[in-house]
Every structure is written in C-alpha cells, then in structure tokens.
Amino acid sequence: MGALLEVEDLTVWLATRGGPRKAVDGLSFQVDAGEIFGIAGESGSGKTMTALALLGLLPHAAKTAGRAVFEGRDLLAMPARELRAVRGRKIAMVSQDPSTSLHPMLSIETQLTEHMRHHLGLGKSEARGRAVELLATVRIPDPEQALRAHPAQFSGGMRQRIAIAVALACEPRLLLADEPTTALDVTVQAGILRLLHRLRRERDLAVIVITHDLGVMSAVADRICVMYGGRTAEVGPREDVLTRPRHPYTRGLLDALPHPEGGAATLQPIPGSPPALGAVPEGCPFHPRCGFAVPDCRAVRPEPVLVASGHLAACPPDPLGGAA
Amino acid sequence: MSALLEATGVAVEYHRRGAPALRAVDRADLTVARGEILGLVGESGCGKSTLGRAVVGLLPTAAGEIRFDGRPVVPLGLRRRAPGMRGLQMVFQDPYASLNPRRLVGDQVGDGYLLGGAARAEALRRAGELLERVGLPADAARRYPHEFSGGQRQRIAIARTLAAEPSCIVADEPISALDASAQASVANLLVELVRELDMGMVFISHDLSVVRQIADRTAVMYLGRVVEVGPTRQVWSAPAHPYTQALISAVPRADGAGVLPVELPGDVPDPARPPGGCRFHPRCPVARPECSRDDPPLVALRDGRSAACVLQTAGEAARPLAEPRPVAAE
C-alpha cells in the first residue's frame, strides 16, 4: 500500500536579517493512513516548521525544497489556490494553545460550520447537524447548547476538544497536531490522547503528533521520528526507538527524563544546548554534545541508515548498536 | 525539629467586582524544614500558585497563619519588607518575564547585595560569583538577559534570588518554560542548592514526574485544599487519596509500551462554587453516599502521611488503593 504522505528530502529556509537559514535540512519520512506518526525534538529542532511547510503556512519569504507527496500530489509544488482546497479539507491542524486557535468572539457554531460550508458546500442546517455530531464525537457534553457558546465558556481541555472537532469537520485524511496537549494538565491530556487514539481507529485518520514529550509519544505514536538540528536523528517503531534507541541524542533525551520509579536524586541532562537557527554545526549536528563523538562526526554529515527492521538512525559509529 | 516555614489553615480570597469572593485556597496546611524539598502538585486552578504566593507574603491571607523562622509572614506592602523576611524568596516560572530586559544581568543579580548595604562594586563582584555558582560564565554579569537561553535565564533568576541569602525558596513552576534538557539541569541545580545551603524549598509544579524525582515530601492540592501530603515515596507508591491515584495514573510513561494514560472524567469545578462534602466526590471513582455530605479534614495516617478522604479516616481502609487497571483503548 502506498503511503498517504511521503516526505522526501524536505528542506526549509527561513528568511532572517542575516540571510536565509536552514530550519529543516533534508528530512524524509512517510505516514500511512490510520497511522499515528510522532515527531519529537526540542525547540528549534525544526518539528513545527515541518508541519507548517506541509500546510503552506511557513512565515513570509521562507523557501522550501524537496517533495511532500500527499495522495499522489506534491504539496510543495502545488499552486496556492489548490493548496487552499487541501488545507482544512484533506489536511487539518490542531495547535498547542486552544485559547488562541479558536476565535474568542465567534460562537462555536460559526467556527465549526464555516469551513464545512466553504469546502463541502453544505447548507446551514446540514452543517449544523454535522457540527452537533462532531461535538458528540469529541465528547462535549450537551452539543446543542455548546454550539451557541463561545470559547471562553469552556475549560482548556474542552477547548482543545472543540479545536479537534473543528479540524475534523471536513473529514480530513491527515491531522497535524503540534504539541496538542502541552498546555493541558495531565488528567486532561490523558483524555485528549485517548481521543486521538480512538479517532485514528474509527476514521482511519492519519495523525502526525509533534511533541517534545516522550511520554506522550509512548502513549499514542506507532512510529517516532526524533529530530535534531533540522534533521532526522532516528526514526522507527515506537517500542524500538524508546527502548532500544540507536542515536545518542535519543538516549540522552530518555536519560534526561525523571525515572518512572523515582529514586535517583538527580536527573541526567544532556550537556550544552540545541543549536540556534543557522548555527547548526558541520558534520553531525549533535557532535558537540555527544559523549560518543569520534573525529569523523565533526566532518561527515551522517545520513539515516537502516539499523533494524523499519528503524533508521543517523549515527555511523553506532555506539548503542551493541546494546540492542 | 521545628519547621522553617509553616502554614496552618491558610485561606486566600480573590475579590471580584460584582461577584462573591473567590476562595482559591481554603484551610491549607504545609510545612517545610531546612534542607527539605516539598513538592506541591495539582491541576491548574487548584490553588498551588496562590498558596505559594501567599506563603512568601505576596498575597494577603483571608484566614490562617504563616510563620517563617518563627516569625509571622506579613503580606508585602508598599514599604520595605521586614528584615527577617529577606530569607524567604521566590523563583518565578517565566525567566523571560521575571528579568528586566534593559538592565545588565550583574546589576539585577547584585540588587540583593545592594539592599543588604553593599557598595556597587562589591555587589557586582559578588553577583559574578553567584552567576558562576549557578553554572554561568562570570562575564555573564556584563551582558543583557536577551543574550541567554531560557535555561540560562532561569539560572540568572535563581542567582538573583540567592543574592538575598535565603534560607527558604518558593519556586513556582521553575522549569516548566524550559526545554527538556534544560529542565533536568535547572532541577538538578535547585536540588544541589537546597542540600548545600541547607535551605528549605517549596517546588510547585504540574509535572508530577519531576516532583517525584526531586521532592522529599509531596503535597497534592485539589480545588484549594491539600488532599494528601507525605514522604514522596509513599505518596507515589501507595497513594492514599483517590485524586492522587488519578493524577499518577494520568502520567504517560516513555517506556515504549503504547499504554494510554487513564483519564479522570470531568473538569475541575468552578472554585467559586465548590461542591459540598468532599470537593473531589463528583469525579471520584470510589465515592460513597457520605462523600457528598461530609467534608473530610486532612488526617494523619500511620506512615507519616496525611490524607483528606473518608476511605482513609474511617479506619476501615487505611491501605493503598487498588493498582490502576491497564486500559487498552478508549
């Protein structure tokens, strides 16, 4: 079966005062229908820019190269008018903060039905009926009443459910969720993660979850791509990446997490900090912070290579290979 | 051993025009000893930040008593803080907002020494030492906040707090705004400082796993109340309050197992209209009829813990709640 989305060698340059700077550098991955694909990384790793590139929503004067083939057509080469027909219709996005992604002054009904009427040509009452169903799907109590309300009348978790309902309105094939639970409490987060998991199963929806939280990844993602300095450090099945990581950066991220059983008094941070835009080191972008770096790491840019079934890592010395 | 910081029966109210006062914290108790980290956790809106601000005197209390080093903490007014209160300091969440962007880092850190009577040159020199102590280069003193990353800024904010030579620090979400690797290193720094300087610390966080890692004792708040407090290990391995249990079960683990966290149904009720009886009863999976009637006080259990739940205080069930059921999918 062909992938729903196939990203090949995606590169994004952002315009800065000092000239164009690479924010994403030769990223490749694919996402199948009904799959939850996780993109993990710290801020500045290029994960959000990847999502924005797919939607044609990059900041002004940004440039892209490579391909992002969705249902047989390259999103990056598509004329703006055609991309508008895909965006919100076939590909939808949920962002981090539901208090900014929903319009504070518009009723939930307006926000839920607007693009159904635009994209699907539905009449007012038909769109309203669908809106009630959608709110029920995301488990908003009393959907009829909710349609008349405004975002401020809901809690953060309920607002994020509504934002997901808005994203689902035109029955997209792919949902981009950028830190969908970062602004929420863990108890509320649990509900949103279960919702994403259920939607994928019921609707065969593909979801790209972007988060720095490896716990969230572990809960919902089928496959995980770990990004560093705009590139893939490692990509593979969830369990492989989280229990048998092959890139020292992934190992470092896991070691920096509080141990699930508590106990050890200190956390193990990765020394140094992630590179700033335009200041990504030559060779392997992680080498200045890597405890396993060899001289080659400074000079040769590593490409992701297959290290296990479906598992690629961009670390030629493969110091963690023996641990598998 | 007497407590360094002790809050008893504290209530904090926010007064709103045209509406009844909102009691954000109600009958809350907490204590912190020297060399101890008390983790304070709970969902947003539970009153943990309000309680944190009240115990350092940034908010007036409506009831109860707060004592620091044996003296009552009085709310900060327009005048200079009482000299005995300088030892009680606060670290805020957002190091982008808590530092003045237009003043040199060294001047901001040195303020504490200036207020203590030092000359400017002396204050600057000692600010440089503090910046090194928190892991920054000494020349950081001659730079501006925007030249630093989030983690480094939080180190600057911590250095500034240390200039007052505090014996107790209340840190409100001090690592939440930072990247994963910076979170770990700033958390480690705070632990080190507490141990080395024999300070007390209240570490307020919504990130339960960090609190589990670094706090000696953990207090769990729900809707303005402390519902459970005790040694971190006990609180986590055998939570006595159903709410603590629910919070712990909701934390996803990065173990690759693909287990969905357990959802706690319902939202936190409006603190202006808390439910009668036990405040958690409408969401409690093990609530009984009396829970909607009786408001359980925080009662000491036998293992050094306290909990506010009739299941515990009735004596019938002074035992850990059942392990959470693994749930495959919604």
pLDDT at B318 over 70: no
Instruction: Check B191 against A216: CB less than 8 A apart.
Output: no
The residue assigned the tokens 């391995």 is B237
Q: How far, in Å, CA of A307 to CA of A194, rounded? A: 31
Give me the residue from A42, A186, A190 closest to B180, CB to CB.
A42
Name residues 23-42 of chain B within 8 A of A (Cβ). none
* Test the B interface: residue of A186, A200, A270 with most B CBs within 10 Å: A186
Give me the residue from B181, B236, B330 closest to A270, CB to CB.
B181
Q: What residues of chain B lie within 8 A of the CB of A198, using their CB?
A: 329-330
pLDDT greater at residue B325 or residue A140: A140
DSSP state of B111: H
pLDDT at B316 over 60: no
- Nearest Cα neighbor of B73 from B92, B52, B93 is B52
* Test the A interface: residue of B154, B173, B176, B179 with most A CBs within 10 Å: B179
Question: Could you tell me the CA-to-CA distances from B260 to A147, A175, B212, B252 in Å, in that order?
Answer: 30, 19, 20, 7
pLDDT digits (tens, 9 = 90+) for A3-19: 999 999 999 999 988 89
3-state SS class at B41: strand
Confidence of residue B86 (pLDDT cuts 50, 70, 90): confident
Q: Residue B273: CB partners within 8 Å, gap ≥ 6?
A: none
B191 close contact with A: CB closer than 8 A: yes
Question: Could you tell me the CA-to-CA distances from A265 to A22, B189, B304 in Å, in that order?
Answer: 39, 12, 21
Q: How far, in Å, CA of A11 to CA of B5, rounded? A: 54
B251 within 8 A of B210, measured Cβ to Cβ: no
Q: What is the 3-state secondary structure (H, E, C) of chain A?
A: CCCCEEEEEEEEEEEECCEEEEEEEEEEEEECCCCEEEEECCCCCCHHHHHHHHHCCCCCCCEEEEEEEECCEECCCCCHHHHHHHECCCEEEECCCHHHHCCCCCCHHHHHHHHHHHHHCCCHHHHHHHHHHHHHHCCCCCHHHHHHCCHHHCCHHHHHHHHHHHHHCCCCCEEEEECCCCCCCHHHHHHHHHHHHHHHHHHCCEEEEEECCHHHHHHHCCEEEEEECCEEEEEEEHHHHHHCCCCHHHHHHHHHCCCCCCCCCCCCCCCCCCCCCCCCCCCCCCHHHCCCCCHHHHHCCCCCEEEECCEEECCCCCCCHHHC
pLDDT of residue A260: 62
Angle subtended at Cα A206 by Cα A203 and Cα A210, rounded to the nearest 5 degrees = 135
Q: How far, in Å, CA of B234 to CA of B173, rounded? A: 23
Q: In chain B, pLDDT over 70 holds for what percent of residues?
A: 93
Instruction: Check B183 against A256: CB less than 8 A apart.
Output: yes
- Nearest Cα neighbor of B222 from B300, B281, B151, B263 is B281
B30 within 8 A of B36, measured Cβ to Cβ: no
Q: What is the mean pLDDT of chain A?
A: 91
- Nearest Cα neighbor of A250 from B151, B214, B254 is B254
The residue assigned the tokens 């603590």 is B244
B252 within 8 A of B266, measured Cβ to Cβ: no
Q: How far, in Å, CA of B81 to CA of B57, rounded? A: 10
A81: left (phi over 0), alpha (psi -120 to 50) or beta: alpha
pLDDT digits (tens, 9 = 90+) for A236-258: 999 999 999 999 999 999 988 88
Instruction: Check A187 against B247: CB less than 8 A apart.
Output: yes
Half-sphere exposure of B57 (CA within 13 A, CB side): 24
Give me the residue from A191, A243, A258 closest to B263, CB to CB.
A191
Instruction: Answer positive or negative: Cα dihedral of A308, A313, A314, A315.
Output: negative
Instruction: Answer positive or negative: Cα dihedral of A322, A253, A209, A136.
Output: positive
Residue B31 distance to chain A (closest CA, Å)? 21
A252 close contact with B: CB closer than 8 A: yes
A324 close contact with B: CB closer than 8 A: no
pLDDT of residue B196: 95
pLDDT of residue A242: 96
pLDDT digits (tens, 9 = 90+) for B93-120: 888 889 999 999 999 999 988 887 889 8
Residue A250 distance to chain B (closest CA, Å)? 12
pLDDT digits (tens, 9 = 90+) for B201-232: 999 998 888 899 899 999 999 999 999 999 99
pLDDT at B135 over 50: yes
Q: What residues of chain B lie within 8 A of the CB of A186, using their CB?
A: 43, 206, 208, 247, 250-252, 261
- What is this structure's pTM? 0.86
Give the sheet arrangement for strand A5-16, strand by strand.
A19-31, A5-16, A63-70, A73-74
Instruction: Check A260 against B213: CB less than 8 A apart.
Output: no
pLDDT digits (tens, 9 = 90+) for B235-288: 998 999 999 999 999 999 889 888 999 988 877 788 888 899 999 999 999 999
Name residues 40-99 of chain A within 8 A of B (Cβ). 42-43
Q: In chain A, pLDDT over 90 holds for what percent of residues?
A: 72
Confidence of residue B325 (pLDDT cuts 50, 70, 90): very low
B251 close contact with A: CB closer than 8 A: yes
Q: Residue B198: CB partners within 8 Å, gap ≥ 6?
A: B34, B35, B167
| Residue B123, token pair as written in the block | 């204050």
Q: What is the mean pLDDT of chain B?
A: 88
Q: Residue type at B185?
A: S
Q: What residues of chain B lie within 8 A of the CB of A216, using their CB?
A: 252
pLDDT of residue B80: 73
Confidence of residue A210 (pLDDT cuts 50, 70, 90): very high
DSSP state of B82: P
Q: Residue A274 burial (CB < 10 Å; 0-12/13-18/19+)? A: buried
Name residues 175-194 of chain A within 8 A of B (Cβ). 185-191, 193-194
Q: What residues of chain A lie within 8 A of the CB of B210, using their CB?
A: 258, 267
pLDDT of residue B209: 86
Give me the residue from B44, B250, B252 closest to A218, CB to CB.
B252
Residue A81 distance to chain B (closest CA, Å)? 37
Give me the residue from B181, B185, B330 closest to A42, CB to CB.
B181
Instruction: Check A242 against B250: CB less than 8 A apart.
Output: no
What domains sit in chain A, N to C, each tagged with a CATH number? 32-60+78-90+173-323 (3.40.50.300), 100-169 (no CATH)
ipTM: 0.81
